[in-house]
């Protein structure tokens, strides 16, 4: 099989594409986790007016079609757009921004659910033992850790597998902004099935590895 | 001056008063019991004292000062409540017991010494590194006590500490409650539905019903000569908890 050969021979283009995919999705997910987890936990722990509305909004954003988000980011950062002066259109930075916006609601929404699921008695016990707001939040993050890890992984799965947003704002430029999903699309359309299959195998292997990692991490917590 | 003075405290959920004009005083070093059927407001009373719930009317004075009038942090850290349902945090036994001490920025040596002392007191020596969620129900309850005990609070609020325990565990719990009170002079409010436990541990007992504190007297007197017919019915076992 030609496809297998491409992987085993460490074809430089396959490696480059894989690296960029990991960089873009990894960076956007880390940033999304830094923003999404604390805010999600804060929302989950507190009662305030319009909390339900906010949760509905976040849930809606969780299912946002990547192409629509890509279009929105494109309009913002294109030359004529309000953020056009940064000149990041068709760069990996633009792709990170788009995936960050795509993944943050997912991580946030799942973090809200994770924090809400923590037993109320745990929180009251901590407060009674002298915990302040920030201490309570830290404890809740610790209590909800398995669910939060799952949230981050789900976000990464979404980022690495989406094609619409990175295609629009990245432009699928060879050796520059081409990632696994966009090149699979391109190679398939060109009839280069071997390369497409090779890239597909890499993508699948990554998903498999991530799932394995999750179950390992969760299994380790006795 | 009493250590704690609850004055005319009312707490409502919607229109219903789950605490209705409750007043009581507790002296320093005293152990009192709060008795009453399920749903009478005992837990809510402890929560209001521990500042987890705010009263809608009335005041709680701690060392003569309104608990909600400044110094909330210090006041809250002078008392600890042990909840009826013991939930170990998902960390080791050691870290569970150390939790409140770490918040108070105590030194590592102090913490470690206190943890060891507490584990010994509760017959749990050697369990430091065990994952706390894997403890049995009785051990979890003892862990919850240890977590509060190491803070050496002025006021200890215990919500049905033996309700879910087998006799052996209940025996250990009663022993450590008594020792804490005697040796450290800790003031204790013990919520229980067990009249015999109140008799064994508390110098005075209060009886609550439907959010009201019906009466409070020396424990022996409450049982031998209750003032209120409702208390008498509870003692005769006619009011089911
Ligand atoms: N957060 C709450 N929301 C609604 N009802 C509550 C709440 N907390 C307590 N109650 C009600 O108040 C009454 C007193 O509760 P509680 O103080 O737990 O009683 P006890 O501890 O004596 O069993 C019960 O009827 C209970 O259902
Ligand atoms: Mg109760």
Residue with tokens 């409702």: B230
What gap in Å lies between CA A21 and CA A199, rounded to an integer?
A: 11
- Residue A213 is predicted with a pLDDT of 79
pLDDT band at A21 (very low <50, low <70, confident <90, very high): very high
Q: How far is A122 from chain B (nearest CA, A)?
A: 6
- Residue A4 is predicted with a pLDDT of 79
Distance of CA A59 to the CA centre of its chain: 15
Q: What percentage of chain A reaches a pLDDT higher than 90?
A: 80
* Yes or no, beta carbons of A125 and B87 under 8 Å apart: yes
What gap in Å lies between CA B43 and CA B217, rounded to an integer?
A: 20
* All structural domains of chain A with their residue ranges: 2-221
* All structural domains of chain B with their residue ranges: 4-86+154-235
Q: A12-45 vs A145-161: helix axis angle to the nearest 10?
A: 140
Instruction: Give contacts of B 103-142 with A, CB under 8 A.
Output: 103-104, 131, 133-134
Atom of ligand 1 nearest to the CA of B191: 21
CB atoms within 10 A of CB B55: 21
pLDDT in tens, A55-100: 999 999 999 999 999 999 999 999 898 998 998 999 999 999 999 9
What gap in Å lies between CA A101 and CA A29, rounded to an integer?
A: 10
Q: What percentage of chain B reaches a pLDDT higher than 90?
A: 93
pLDDT above 90 (res A222): no
- Residue B178 is predicted with a pLDDT of 97
Architecture of domain A2-221: Orthogonal Bundle (1.10)
B chain contacts of residue A148, beta-carbon cutoff 8 Å = none
What gap in Å lies between CA B64 and CA B27, rounded to an integer?
A: 11
Name residues whose C-beta falls within 8 Å of residue B47's C-beta, 6 or more positions apart in sequence: A124, B53, B81
- Residue A220 is predicted with a pLDDT of 67
A chain contacts of residue B103, beta-carbon cutoff 8 Å = 129-132, 135
Q: Which ligand is nearest to the CA of B40?
A: 1
Name residues whose C-beta falls within 8 Å of residue A176's C-beta, 6 or more positions apart in sequence: A90, A92
Instruction: List the strands of the sheet with B79-82, edge to edge.
Output: B79-82, B155-159, B187-191, B31-35, B204-209, B212-218
Q: Are A14 and A84 in contact (CB under 8 A)?
A: no
ipTM above 0.90, yes or no: yes
pLDDT band at A131 (very low <50, low <70, confident <90, very high): very high
E strand or H helix that includes residue A180 = helix A180-190
pLDDT in tens, A31-62: 999 999 999 999 999 999 999 999 999 999 99
Q: Which ligand is nearest to the CA of B159?
A: 2
Q: Are A9 and A194 in contact (CB under 8 A)?
A: no
Mean pLDDT of all residues in B162-189: 95
Report the CATH number of the B4-86+154-235 domain: 3.40.50.300
CA distances from B81 to A195, B48, B93 (A): 64, 11, 19
Q: Which ligand is nearest to the CA of B241?
A: 1
- Residue B240 is predicted with a pLDDT of 57
* Yes or no, beta carbons of B89 and A135 under 8 Å apart: no
Question: Which residues surround ligand 1 with Cβ inside 6 Å?
Answer: B 13, 18, 36, 38-44
Task: Please give the backbone phi and psi of residue B7, each rounded to the nearest 5 degrees, phi first.
Answer: -125, 105
Mean pLDDT of all residues in A166-185: 94
The verdict on pTM exceeding 0.80 is: yes
Strand stretches in chain B, DSSP E: 4-13, 16-26, 31-35, 57-62, 65-66, 79-82, 155-159, 187-191, 204-209, 212-218
CA distances from B226 to B207, B212, B214, B240 (A): 10, 16, 10, 18
Mean pLDDT score across all residues of chain B: 95
Q: Is B96 on the interface with A (CB under 8 A)?
A: no
A chain contacts of residue B147, beta-carbon cutoff 8 Å = 125, 129
Letter string b/e over residues A54-91, b meaning 16 or more CB atoms within 10 A of that residue's CB: ebeebeebbeeebeebbbbbbebbeeeeeeeeeebbbb
Q: How far is B83 from chain A (nearest CA, A)?
A: 7
Size of interface A-B (CB pairs under 8 A): 54
Lowest-confidence segment of A101-105, A121-125, A190-194, B26-30 by average pLDDT? A190-194
Residue count (chain A): 222
């Amino acid at each position: 099989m030609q496809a297998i050969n491409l992987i085993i021979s460490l074809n430089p283009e396959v490696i480059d594409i894989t690296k960029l995919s990991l960089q873009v999705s990894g960076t956007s997910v880390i940033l999304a986790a830094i923003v999404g987890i604390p805010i999600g936990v804060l929302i989950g722990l507190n009662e305030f007016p319009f909390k339900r509305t906010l949760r509905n909004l976040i849930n809606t954003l969780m299912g946002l079609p990547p192409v629509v988000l890509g279009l929105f980011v494109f309009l913002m950062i294109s030359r004529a757009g309000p953020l056009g002066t940064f000149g990041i259109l068709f760069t990996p930075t633009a792709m990170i921004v788009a995936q960050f916006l795509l993944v943050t609601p997912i991580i946030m929404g799942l973090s809200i659910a994770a924090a809400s699921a923590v037993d109320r008695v745990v929180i009251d016990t901590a407060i009674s033992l002298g915990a302040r707001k920030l201490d309570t939040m830290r404890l809740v993050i610790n209590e909800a850790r398995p669910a939060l890890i799952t949230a981050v992984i789900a976000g990464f799965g979404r980022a690495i597998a989406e094609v619409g947003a990175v295609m629009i704002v990245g432009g699928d430029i060879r050796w520059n902004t081409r990632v696994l999903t966009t090149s699979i699309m391109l190679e398939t359309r060109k009839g280069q099935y071997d390369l497409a299959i090779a890239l597909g195998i890499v993508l699948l292997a990554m998903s498999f590895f991530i799932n394995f990692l999750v179950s390992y991490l969760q299994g380790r917590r006795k | 001056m009493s250590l704690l003075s609850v004055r005319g405290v009312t707490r409502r959920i919607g229109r219903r008063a789950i605490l209705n004009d409750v007043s009581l005083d507790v002296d320093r070093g005293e152990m009192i019991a709060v008795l009453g059927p399920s749903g009478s407001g005992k837990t809510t009373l402890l929560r209001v004292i521990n500042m987890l719930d705010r009263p809608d009317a009335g005041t709680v004075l701690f060392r003569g000062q309104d608990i909600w009038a400044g110094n909330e942090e210090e006041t809250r850290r002078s008392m600890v409540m042990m909840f009826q349902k013991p939930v170990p945090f998902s960390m080791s036994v050691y870290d569970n017991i150390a939790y409140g001490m770490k918040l108070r920025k105590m030194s590592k040596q102090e913490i470690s010494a206190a943890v060891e002392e507490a584990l010994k007191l509760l017959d749990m020596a050697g369990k430091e590194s065990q994952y706390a969620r894997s403890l049995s129900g009785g051990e979890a309850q003892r862990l919850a006590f240890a977590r509060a005990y190491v803070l050496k609070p002025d006021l200890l609020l215990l919500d049905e500490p033996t309700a879910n325990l087998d006799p052996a565990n209940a025996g250990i719990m009663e022993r450590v409650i008594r020792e804490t009170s005697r040796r450290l002079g800790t003031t204790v409010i013990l919520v229980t539905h067990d009249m015999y436990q109140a008799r064994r541990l508390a110098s005075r007992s209060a009886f609550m019903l439907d959010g009201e504190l019906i009466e409070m007297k020396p424990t022996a007197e409450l049982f031998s000569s209750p003032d209120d017919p409702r208390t008498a019915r509870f003692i005769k076992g006619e009011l089911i908890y």
